[in-house]
Structure 1
Amino acid sequence: MSDLDKHPAGDTGHDAHLPAVAEEPIANPGLPAHTWRPTDIDEGLAKRAERQVSALFTLSAVFTVLFVVSYFVFDIGDNWETVGGLGASTVMLGVCLGLALMLIGVGIIQWARKLMADQEMVEMRHPARSSDEDRAATVAALNAGLEESDLAKRPLIRRSMLLAMGLLGAPVVILLRDLGPTPSSVASAAEGTGLKHTLWGTRDKIRVVRDVVGTPIRVSDLQIGDLVNAVPDGIFDLEGVDLQVAKAKSAVIVVKMAPEDVKSQQGEGWGIDGVLCYSKICSHVGCPISLYERTTHHVLCPCHQSTFDLADSAKVIFGPAGRPLPQLPLAVDEEGYLVAQSDFKEPVGPSFWDREK
């Protein structure tokens, strides 16, 4: 490295950490002398720059907190309009998170431009595989870079940067909340009752009604070989997303077979004169099933061909499904209609948890 740079007064000489160049293969091309920044010379200006960078990181932390607050304050369906017809939730979440990230970036750029080491250096090309000496020199240079970042000397920057970047984990946690319902242990008709429950558990003795039309099912009206797509009574009181979420987990199939054909059930007394009820949601990836073969009592999932034997506790006889379809315990009310004794005894849908014994 040629004598292009002259350290300002008081400089400790960071070049001491860099490997010396034994001989330059070409002559000095005549680069202009290095111009030192004001913050390299005046410690007062350096302190001012430090406060500026710290303020940017602190503002980033403030906007991250505002993102979390906005998530709970503004509803997705808020009618407050802005430019472009976007709702308050969309605007506030986007603006707050965008500014939080931008201020961290601007702070790092300002830190690098005004406070990190400012030197000119030359490094000659070397073979693809560096020598042990070069590798050791690289480690030394990295250590020197860490020292030159002045993190140890600038605790205000270090703490405010850690605050801003640490708080960025909060939006991630908040946004994960929107991936789906939590495994709630309390039934909720409006939310479809979480992962562990369905609408069948929201109240006692819910009637089993036909899907679409909503009429109750009388045991005496079923014939051997019938398969009826059914849902819990009251589900059509819900609307929009609430209806779709609830129906996606509460849908069932009711089958009627000869009582002597029933090999086993998932509970005592759950079948009524050959009438059985199972979840319509495949335990593989959650597709709706209803392709029924009445002579064998097998039901097929159209997505990946998982096959269940409804006469034998809906156990899997073919395909990738990991567990039987959950069975709904049935009873008959005083008017002769099918009702559910309780919710399913296990979660419906994909089998990513262990089945309770």
Structure 2
Amino acid sequence: MSNETGGTMSTNDPDHGGDGVALQEGDLPARFENPGIPEHQHRMADTDPKAAKRAERQVAFLFVLSMVGTLVMIVGYFAVKMDHDLGFIDYLNRLELSNKLLGIGMAISLLGIGVGAVHWAKTLMPDEERIDYRHLQRGSDEVRAEAVDMLATGVEESGFARRPLIRNTLIGAMALFPLPGLILFRDTGPLPGKYLATTFWKAGDRLMLDPEGGPIKASDMVLGSVAHVLPEGIEEAEHPLNEKAKAAVLLIRLEEDLLAPESLPGAHGGIVAYSKICTHMGCPVALYEQRTHHLLCPCHQSTFDLTQNCKVIFGPAKRALPQLAITVDDEGYLVAAAPFSEPTGPSYWERS
């Protein structure tokens, strides 16, 4: 339609010359011509069988290169030994070599698959432009059958079925590519088995002050006092840091009549011992509010009530802190009466 200043406007309204119809003044044309799709330019591989064969070999070479990169990564991972008895400089040199082999191998593996797929699509797969008009989202059975036929045609035109060299090398590259990930994840450590469910504590172990060391007597624990303790002999464990991460315990004394009935069998004269490892994410629960008898985790504010057998009263933790049953030996020193009756720390997949 015309605007106030003259001239013309085109519209898609079918009642006013739709589909590009221009309502004009004077001798302007009634319709703009559709320029159509540009003439298709054939590639060398479309007209020259030798060029197509050469492109096929190039794609296969890239997929084989990807397989070589994957193998370099795997071999480099196992060939470079990271023994801890090496000198510090030698250890760093080996670590650098290992990282370079892993990085270069993964880069070649990814690059081979990616560039090979792009080169395949640009040189061998059909590149003609086609027009498909919009239709209802859910087509008829005939349209759906036609779509299946189009997919089958696409597979045929891609050459996946009739180019076994490309197909087989692609399958080989894709089959090898996940292996480094599986190896790396599997080699993060042995499966835990019962290791997470047990601690260094056993019946008769003296409670040793942490970090100063030395045993502690029940008479040393005055009302309201708090001590951080570990089991005797933990420094001689095969992996002392790992054991400390599970066995750390808070020792606290409060009025015995405040204790919940279920915590009394494991207490001694108002002295109770609970795991220091938060049952949410494993942070150290080290903040004690003497007036409220609450233990607070500083990481995510999970709060445990000592008077309710360390039940969770606030925060994301879902389980109470496990209690370590304690007693005294013949010399009056506090000792563990038994190991923890349940795993300490956060939940994990094998926990029952």
TM-score by length of 1: 0.70
Kindly tell me: are residues 184 and 131 of structure 1, through their superposed partners in 2, closer, same or farther at Cα, counting changes over 3 Å? Answer: closer
In structure 2, the partner of 1:104 is 113
**Contact in 2 for aligned 1:329/1:342 (Cα 8 Å):** yes
165-174 or 135-144, larger mean C-alpha shift: 135-144
- The answer to whether the aligner puts 1:255 opposite 2:263 as a matched pair is no
Question: What residue is the counterpart of 1:316 in the other structure?
Answer: 312
C-alpha separation between the residues in 1 aligned to 2:349 and 2:188?
18
- Give the structure 2 partner of residue 229 of structure 1: 228
Equivalent residues in 2 for 1:185-196 (5 A)?
185-186=194-195, 195-196=196-197
1:93 aligns with 2:94: no
Checking the alignment, whether the CA contact within 8 Å between 1:264 and 1:311 is kept in structure 2 is: no
Match of 1:337 among 333, 340, 344: 333
- Determine the C-alpha separation between the residues in 1 that align with 2:128 and 2:71: 40
> What's 1:189 paired with?
none
Paired amino acid for 2:159? D
* Aligned-residue offset at 1:253: 0.4
Indicate if the aligned counterparts of 1:214 and 1:233 stay in contact, CA closer than 8 A: no
1:346 maps to 342
% identical aligned pairs: 41
Q: 1:219 and 2:218 equivalent?
A: yes
| Pairing partner for 1:26 from 23, 34, 53 | 34
Q: Is the contact between residue 44 and residue 51 of structure 2 (CA under 8 Å) also seen in structure 1?
A: no
| Aligned residue in 2 for 1:307 | 303
Alpha-carbon separation, structure 2, partners of 1:355 and 1:29: 64
Compute the displacement of 1:174 (Å): 3.5
Q: Determine if contact 1:307/1:318 at 8 Å carries over to the other structure.
A: yes
Paired residues, what number? Answer: 314
Residue deviations 1:28-68 (CA, integer Å, cap 9, x gap): 7985x7344247532x6645544443343233234324423
User: Does the 8 Å CA contact 1:322/1:351 hold for their aligned counterparts?
Assistant: no
* Corresponding position of 2:22: none
Q: Which runs of 5+ in 2 are unaligned?
A: 1-31
> Where does the alignment leave 5 or more consecutive residues of structure 1 unmatched?
1-23, 187-194
Q: 1:160 to 1:28 in 2, by over 3 A?
A: closer
Q: What CA distance in whole angstroms lies between the structure 1 residues aligned with 2:38 and 2:171? A: 42
Q: Distance in 2 between matches of 1:181 and 1:200?
A: 22
- Specify the SS of the correspondent of 1:229: strand
Give the letter for the 2:253 counterpart: K
Q: Is the Cα contact below 8 Å between 2:44 and 2:52 reproduced in 1?
A: no
Q: Give 3-state SS (helix, strand or coil) of 1:110's partner.
A: helix
Deviations along 1:295-353, whole A, 9 cap, x unmatched?
55332333444332223322223333211101223344454433335543322223456
Q: Give the equivalent residue in structure 1 for 2:294.
A: 298
Structure 1 residues 338, 56: CA separation in 2 closer, same or farther (over 3 Å shift)? Answer: farther
Aligned residue for 1:311, secondary structure, equals helix
Quickly say closer, same or farther: Cα 1:276–1:216, change in 2 above 3 A. Answer: same
Residue by residue, what CA displacement relative to the aligned partner does 1:198-254 show, whole Å, maximum 9, x if unpaired?
4437xx744322222122222221112211122334555799xx7665444332101
Distance of 2:63 and 2:271 partners within structure 1? 66
- Compare CA radii of gyration and give the structure with the larger one: 2
Q: Is the 8 A contact 2:326 2:337 kept in 1?
A: yes
- Provide the aligned C-alpha RMSD in A: 4.0
- Indicate conservation of the 8 Å contact 1:80/1:88, yes or no: no
Alignment pair present for 1:170 and 2:179: yes
Aligned to 2:280: 284
From the superposition, tell whether residues 315 and 177 of structure 1 become closer, same or farther in structure 2 (CA, over 3 Å): same
Equivalent position of 2:77 in the other structure: 71
Residue 325 of structure 1, aligned match among 300, 321, 335: 321
- Structure 1 CA distance, aligned partners of 2:37 and 2:119? 31
Q: Tell me: CA distance 1:116–1:206, structure 2 relative to 1, closer, same or farther (3 Å).
A: farther
CA gap of 1:354–1:295, structure 2 versus 1, over 3 A, is farther
Aligned to 1:120: 128
Question: Residues 237 and 95 (structure 1 numbering): CA distance in 2 closer, same or farther, change over 3 Å?
Answer: farther
Alpha carbons of 1:261 and 1:55: their partners in 2 closer, same or farther (altered >3 Å)? Answer: same
